[in-house]
Amino acid sequence: MLEATNLIKASLATGRALLRTPRSSEEEVAVARTSPYLVPIRSLGANHRQRIAEHLLSLGPHDRYLRFGYSAQDEQIQRYVDSLNFERDEIFGIYNRKLALLAMAHLAYAPDKSYDSCAEFGVSVLASARGRGYGARLFDRAAMHASNDGISLMFIHALSENEAMLKIARKAGARVEREGTESDAYLQLPPSTLDTRMTEMVEETVALTDYRIKVQAKQFWSFLAEVQAIRQSAIEAQSRTPP
């Protein structure tokens, strides 16, 4: 319960920070790299499909190559997004205060029931959000969810040059087998416990609360911007009026 209390306190602190004057992107990066804090990771549903597409389409050519294993074009990425099965698989994401999806992970379950104890993990992080440990945090979140869902083996297929992904897998204790330009990693997951189930429940609640606060904050700043624009127009109109 102490861990759950700390998570909720961290969420409330995040909410208070969101209502302050927004930082520049440079300031956000500086804070992220120097201050340890809770990163709310929430499950994404079909209503997030558009933001998922925007995230993946924002990836540069090399990042697309590392994520999909080939130089994915816009049309191919869109087909991938359209084919996401939110009923079967789990998609996790990290949003910033502007509701841009900085990082996302896809935990894909096997459609064949013969392999219902296995799942595959894939992750992508925007270049502007690198160096914050988002990939590793998404990996841990996906592994915990998979374990709680009865998955015993998490599989990662990556290009051998994708050192960032393979480093995350190795650090988690995965067995990595390299064959030419591609590598496969296998992570044996421990059985779920009451603690892991409660932790995931609390983390999801915190992430949902954080997302709702970000939505409200974004709407509030948009409202202020509109008010400021109206005020500025009135001032300009008044200055043009002859005395």
How sure is the predictor about 239, in pLDDT bands with cuts at 50, 70 and 90? low
Own/partner pairs for 128-134, CB < 8 Å, 24+ apart? 128/25, 128/29, 128/102, 129/94, 129/96, 129/102, 129/103, 131/29, 131/32, 131/33, 132/29, 132/32, 132/33, 132/39, 133/39, 134/39, 134/94, 134/102, 134/103
Q: Using the 8-state DSSP alphabet, how is residue 108 labeled?
A: E
What's the pLDDT at 7? 47
- Look up tokens 């969420």; give the residue: 11
- What percentage of the chain exceeds 90 in pLDDT? 41
- Domains held by the chain: number: 1
Q: Which has more confidence, 164 or 94?
A: 94
DSSP letters spanning 66-94: HHHSS---HHHHHHHHHH--TTTSEEEEE
What's the pLDDT at 112? 74
Tens of pLDDT, residues 41-56: 999 999 999 999 999 9
Euclidean distance between CA atoms 91 and 44, whole angstroms = 5
Which tokens hold the place of 22? 């927004």
DSSP letters spanning 154-165: EEEEEETT-HHH
Q: Give the residue among 192, 204, 181 at the shortest CA–CA distance from 45.
A: 204
Q: What are phi and psi of 21, to 5 degrees?
A: -60, 130
Query: Range with the lowest mean pLDDT among 25-34, 82-91, 217-226?
Result: 25-34
What's the pLDDT at 236? 60
Q: Residue 226 is part of which domain span?
A: 2-240
What's the pLDDT at 36? 46
* Angstrom distances, CA of residue 142 to CA of 109, 157, 189: 12, 15, 11
- What percentage of the chain exceeds 70 in pLDDT? 74
Average pLDDT, the chain: 80
Among the ranges 80-94, 102-116, 163-177, which has the highest mean pLDDT value?
A: 80-94
What's the pLDDT at 8? 45
What's the pLDDT at 139? 94
Contact, 132 vs 33, CB < 8 A?
yes
Euclidean distance between CA atoms 77 and 153, whole angstroms = 27
Tens of pLDDT, residues 180-230: 888 888 888 888 889 888 888 888 887 778 777 777 766 656 656 665 666
How sure is the predictor about 122, in pLDDT bands with cuts at 50, 70 and 90? very high
What's the pLDDT at 12? 43
What's the pLDDT at 11? 45
CATH of residue 104's domain is: 3.40.630.30
Residues in the chain: 243
What's the pLDDT at 24? 47
